Amino acid sequence: MHIAQYLVILLFTGLKLSKVEGRCFFNNSQQHCICLHLSEKTLRSLTRCLLATEFEFRGGNLEKYLGFLPFKLEPSVIDMLGTLMVTKVIFGELDVPEVLLAAVLKFFSYTQVTMLGFESCTFLGNASWAHMAGQILPISSLRFHNVTSTSLVDRAQDFSSLSSWLESLQNLTVTQSQVAHVPCGIGKIFRTLNHLDLSENHFQDQSLGSSFCQGAFPELQVLKLRRNNLISYHTICEMLQQLTNLAHLDLSENNLTASSSSSCLWQPSLSIFNLSSTGIDHIVIPLPPNIEVLDVSFNNLHSLDLSLHFLKELHLSNNKLHAVPSAKNYPALEVLILDGNLISRLSKEELWSLRHLRNVKAGQNPYNCSCSGASEIQALANTESLLQGWPQDYVCKSPPHYQGTLVKDVPVSAVHFNKATVIVPVCAILVQMCVAGII
């Protein structure tokens, strides 16, 4: 048996070999095995991972196996692969010759592996994928993180050879890999993909047009573009119009600009929208009409005056809000996140008017604990499981004698109109009236 065959078998088995020293470690509770510095000696220690369903192989040199190509597995070994319970395989910190990957990938068709990942890997050279034409793999989730490879330009034929598999792929992640666009022809191959994560890459507004052209990713429901080089809210909206089934869009950590004159309308299917950490200071822009979850946390918003009747979750943490948004604009709201703003008062009437509200997080705000301010917050806290982070995150900022005190520790007697807070303003008004000659 060639050593390359031996490599493939041991990636999934762990044959009963004589005891050897190795660097494979098995976590029984998670049924997870990790092997460090891939080599024949390391692979032999896979015997301790017989019960694992998840494998990680990190570090090592795969180029030395190139001399054993091409190779085939014996029928008995193929039958054995079909009985294994391995469902997830990850390769990390490896230099992977593409020709070796092309030779090995087809053997996954004999396994039950549904998730394949590559982390911090470098793919070397180009390979012919013609032998994969018509090959169907059980892998439904494919992940690349911090990888480098040759350009995708002019690789449409290679992807076409993989189309029998890729057109059934459900989940594709390519993050932190310096990708600037996806050729239109390649995007069209992913006919049933519903989840695409392209975060931490180099996409720009205009490159979205060619990446998401007519016919590309027709069934896509989740698109994550966090931390790219996107700028114009209006242009992004226009470039993604072809994604008629899009339900979840993440544009967070892009430095966005928006114009109140934008006329682009988002597709009605969009229900989850993440605009956190985008630098926006106002929202007068068109939002998806049927939005249910809106995240605009970590921005510079001073107020929010939008009417979103289907909204269920509103994330507004770490902005510059001075007041709770009007409840009448969000009648279906269930979750309201307001921590880290400049809010000095929580109105219990306003929040209680939201009949579906079940979760409010409003800690780390400068609360005014004079008069009825503290009593309202205490009343909200007494509503079962409503206030998250209570009591430790709710601290008085004013008046001075309560500064730094937990809202829960403000005495009830002091909450109900401290006489001084009433008498002093009344006396001041009387003095002004006397001076004016009114009395």
Residues in contact with 269: Cβ distance below 8 Å, sequence separation at least 6, in sequence order: 244, 245, 246, 247, 290
Does residue 272 belong to any structural domain of this protein?
no
Among 149, 169, 189, the domain boundary falls at 169
Residues in contact with 399: Cβ distance below 8 Å, sequence separation at least 6, in sequence order: 368, 369, 370, 421
Clarify whether residues 161 and 305 are in a common domain.
no
Does residue 136 belong to any structural domain of this protein?
yes
Does residue 325 belong to any structural domain of this protein?
yes
CA-CA distance, 86 to 53, in Å (whole number)?
A: 4
| pLDDT in 10s for each residue of the chain, 439 residues | 343 444 445 554 433 333 334 488 889 889 999 988 876 666 667 777 878 999 998 987 788 777 666 667 778 878 888 888 899 999 999 999 998 898 888 889 999 999 999 999 999 988 888 888 888 999 999 999 999 998 877 777 888 889 999 999 999 999 999 999 999 999 999 999 999 999 999 999 999 999 999 999 999 999 999 999 999 999 999 999 999 999 999 999 999 987 766 788 999 999 999 999 999 998 867 889 899 999 999 999 999 988 999 999 999 999 999 999 999 999 999 999 999 999 999 999 999 999 999 999 999 999 999 878 999 999 999 988 899 999 999 999 999 999 999 999 999 764 444 444 444 444 455 545 555 555 5
Does residue 280 belong to any structural domain of this protein?
no
CA-CA distance, 288 to 265, in Å (whole number)?
A: 7
Q: Which two tokens stand for residue 375?
A: 């009593």
DSSP strands (E only) in 102-190: 115-119, 122-124, 141-145, 171-175
Among 169, 195, 229, the domain boundary falls at 169
- Domain count for the chain: 2
CATH code of residue 436: 3.80.10.10
Specify whether the CB–CB gap between 183 and 159 falls below 8 A. no
Q: How far is CA 311 from CA 27, 59, 231, 288, 294, in A?
A: 42, 47, 26, 10, 8
Does residue 284 belong to any structural domain of this protein?
no
Does residue 282 belong to any structural domain of this protein?
no
DSSP single-letter state for residue 244: T
Does residue 217 belong to any structural domain of this protein?
no
Q: How far is CA 190 from CA 16, 170, 202, 213, 349, in A?
A: 40, 9, 21, 12, 50
CA-CA distance, 352 to 362, in Å (whole number)?
A: 15
Enter the pTM of the model: 0.86
Specify whether the CB–CB gap between 115 and 89 falls below 8 A. yes
CA-CA distance, 114 to 143, in Å (whole number)?
A: 11
Does residue 259 belong to any structural domain of this protein?
no
Among 120, 146, 169, the domain boundary falls at 169
Residues spanned by the domain of 98: 1-169
DSSP letters spanning 50-88: TT-SEEEEEEEB-GGGGGG-S----HHHHHHHTT----E
Indicate the burial class of 397 (C-beta count within 10 angstroms; 0-12, 13-18, 19 or more).
middle
